Amino acid sequence: MTSPMCTTSVASVNGEQMATSYICADCDLEFVPEKLGDDPRCPQCSRTEAVEPADSSALQSDIWRQWLVVFALLFIAGIAYVVFE
Is 78 exposed, middle or buried (CB count within 10 Å of its CB: 0-12, 13-18, 19+)?
A: exposed
Question: Do residues 10 and 19 make contact, with C-beta atoms less than 8 angstroms apart?
Answer: yes
Amino acid 57: pLDDT: 57
The confidence score (pLDDT) of residue 69 equals: 93
Output the pTM of the full model.
0.44
Enumerate residue ranges in the chain where pLDDT < 70.
1-19, 56-61
Residue 4 is predicted with a pLDDT of 36
